[in-house]
Chains A and B, each alone.
Chain A
Amino acid sequence: LKNHNSYRLGFLSHVRAANEAAAALGLHAAVELGDYTLGVSGNGRSFRFYAQFLHERHGSGLAYSPQAADSVVGFLGWLPYFNKRWPIATDKPAFKEYCRANGLRVPATLSSPGDDLRDFVVKLPLSSFGAGLRGPFASRQAAESAGALTPGAFCEAFVRGRIVKAFYWNERLVCVEILDMPTVTGDGVSALRKLLERKLGSRSAAGVWPLFAEIAAYSGLTLDTIPSKGRQVLADYRFSSRLMPWNPGNTNVLADIKDSPLARRLADCGRPLWLGIPEPLREGTLFSVDAIADDQDQLWFLEMNCNPVCHPDVYPAMLEWLFSSDKAVQGEGPAAPREAPGTPLPTGGNTPIWRVS
């Protein structure tokens, strides 16, 4: 609910989508309330799917967990396995290197910026949920004075464009979400802070202002600057920004763009990306990639996620493959860790319960 799209985090959306996917294949499905596992059977096969939940813990950010507790703010979907991880999905520089070696375009990266470096963001190699993401910065001096160049961080060229999140079941593109980077437009009267407050509406929070101030500085503004009438100012560049327009519906645009060059590029990238998963883990795997589509609809890949939100639109492809492919391994799969009911979630630190890329 804190996300701009409650559809893909809503338990009901997932139940409905899984049901429709199962019904289309003549399968029977039921959800056990004890651990929220989804059992699907039919055609002589049966699979158990493990639930994951998105938690928000006060003071320590977001985390994924198979436990359902009072800190849940969203449902992340069901997968027929638990916690697959592989190197290029957990290490951003390793992903960039793999992409370059396989002809997939990525923004330039530098471990230590030179004095002439312009227009970049600062990232941590192993972070999740945008933790440690800083900038964008117009110069090295700007990043230094903001204290963003911390040990271990790397710099990545900032590419403006539309934010793309693409989901693949194995090598098959199954879902695409595309969002414009949020902007606000000056009215010649209101300070930038006021324009942002209006756009945030009821989603405003005290903690957002340092980040917005940093993004404003990239445009040469402060939060107290009054942008001239009609001037469009970059307000954020993160997929999960609170400034994204509220959309309770399905944000999968794959059907809308299916004949476009962008869709073809995304579909073509599926196989080389999938082959980056080590062979023992490869079959029957969901992953997503984050990318920027520039003005020419060229894709700039940013990172790969081995434990993404399972978008509800993934279930048809997932069930179809599991209930038809010779490569699908039937059964329980590796189970999610079970905790005694009421066991508190781990606390402290800014690390998710297990790391997600």
Chain B
Amino acid sequence: LNACRIDLFWHAQAVQACLRGLEAQASFDLPRLNLEVRGSRGACKLTPRFFVRDERGVLQYSSLPERAALGFAGWLPYAGRRWPLGGNIAFKALCLRHGLQTPPMWRSPAAGMSDFLVKRDRSVFSAGMRGPFRAYRADDSAQAPGDDRFYERFVPGRSVKAWFWEDRLAAIEAHDMPKLTGDGRSTLRELMQRASRTGGAHFRWDRLGDLARFQDAALDAPLEAGRTVIADLHWGSSLIPSRIEPGSTLAAYKGSALLRELQAAGPILWRFLPEGVRAATLFTVDAILDEQARLWLLEMNCEPMGHPDAYAPMLDTLLARRLDS
């Protein structure tokens, strides 16, 4: 986890860095933290969002900097924007139609279905996801089919999230799926709790158990000394060590095939948005970069967390077009 991405300070720093080139000034008012940018080319107002957990411990966005806020999710020129793309299934269908690679999927249990995740068509923060599972078991309620469920081939690899402002790639974040190595004495659950930044609070043990079983391990059995297993698939897993790296993410991937591929995908993905919401919109795409460096697109998010690197194209657009939220 790059802590800069959920920290109000680093978002403010990113905005400030843009101001120099735009000959602009900015301030945010209290209590709502609405950001006002004023420059020679125009002015715009951006609204903030914050991460909170609901009473079930599920992550949500809030527009208020309430006491329970866990972090800052960025400023956007709109308060909420969704589009009738459908869900993850529709996104995958669009990818296939436009030649973008996405893992195979099944709408219902099928013969030969193996190494799969169970996902919900419409969910945020991976809510409802289970697995991976080696093979379908009809007696496992976690694998039961449902109207909103589908099955997707599990692709191990590097987790990638790409931010797009309109058709322009704005930021890339990627990390290896967190792994743990056994010491022959500690159970996998104990290893996870020790390695967690939060001591294991908010772990979804059912999912972690799925992943352990998929690798022929178990949460409550000692993990053999020297054996390494993938410990979590969740993007914001507390098993990923916290770091502070405020630099530009696109600069970090300069010259890479991943950067070229995502830049090329931007205009195609942007056209997935209905025409009426295309202008001045931030969206993200989740993907996996597998061991053969193939990129597999998983889903598109219309209400993503913001990214500090997104302010440069965002403010450039907003001030140039004199848009005002």
Contact = CB atoms under 8 A, between A and B. Distances in A.
Nearest to A12: B8
Interface string A62-91: 000000101011010000000000000000
Given A19-B30, A34-B25, A12 B71 contact: yes
A275 interface: no
Contact of B20 (A11, A32, A341): A341
Interface string A221-256: 000000000000000000000000010100000000
A31 interface: yes
B197 A29 contact: no
Contacts of A72: 9, 13
Contacts of B199: 246
Interface string B29-69: 11101000000000000000010000000000000010101
B28 A33 contact: yes
Contacts of B13: 68, 72
Contact of A33 (B12, B72, B241): B12
Contacts of B71: 12
Interface string B133-152: 00000000000000000000
Contacts of B28: 30-31, 33
A316 B65 CA distance: 18
Contacts of B26: 32-34
B194 A29 contact: no
Interface residues of A, number: 30
B30 A32 contact: no
Given A1-B244, A12-B71, A75 B27 contact: no
Nearest to B6: A12
Contact of B65 (A19, A30, A248, A341): A19
A200 to B, nearest CB: 9
A10 interface: yes
B197 A202 contact: yes
A1 B242 CA distance: 8
Nearest to B66: A16
B198 A201 contact: no
Contacts of B156: none
B241 A15 contact: no
B296 to A, nearest CB: 29
A68 B11 CA distance: 12
Interface string B1-13: 0010001110011
B30 A22 contact: yes
B212 interface: no
A64 B13 CA distance: 17
Nearest to B243: A1
Contacts of A19: 30-31, 65
B198 A198 contact: no
B236 to A, nearest CB: 15
Contact of B247 (A30, A32, A70): A70
A36 B12 contact: yes
Nearest to B198: A246
B16 interface: yes
Given A1-B242, A33-B28, A201 B9 contact: no
Contact of B30 (A29, A70, A248): A29
A23 interface: yes
Interface in B291-316: none
A18 interface: yes
A201 B65 contact: no
A248 B67 CA distance: 12
B109 interface: no
Interface string A106-134: 00000000000000000000000000000
B171 interface: no
Contacts of B19: 33-34
Contacts of A202: 195-197, 241-242
Contacts of A30: 27-30
A145 to B, nearest CB: 34
Contacts of B7: 10-12
A33 B16 contact: yes
Contacts of B50: 12
B15 A18 contact: no
B198 to A, nearest CB: 7
B27 A23 contact: no
Contacts of A198: 194
A73 B244 contact: yes
A202 B29 CA distance: 36
A41 to B, nearest CB: 12
B197 to A, nearest CB: 6
Contacts of B247: 70
Nearest to A17: B67
A23 B9 contact: no
A68 to B, nearest CB: 6
B30 A18 contact: yes
A201 B194 contact: yes
B135 to A, nearest CB: 35
B87 interface: no
B182 interface: no
Contacts of A1: 3, 242, 244
User: Which are the 7 A-B pairs with shortest beta-carbon distances?
Assistant: A11-B9, A19-B30, A29-B30, A12-B8, A33-B26, A19-B31, A30-B29
Given A30-B30, A198-B194, 4 more contacts: A12-B71, A33-B16, A201-B196, A202-B196
7 contacts: A15-B8, A15-B30, A28-B30, A31-B27, A32-B27, A68-B9, A72-B9
Interface of A: 1, 10-12, 15-16, 18-20, 22-23, 28-34, 36, 68, 70, 72-73, 75, 198, 201-202, 246, 248, 341
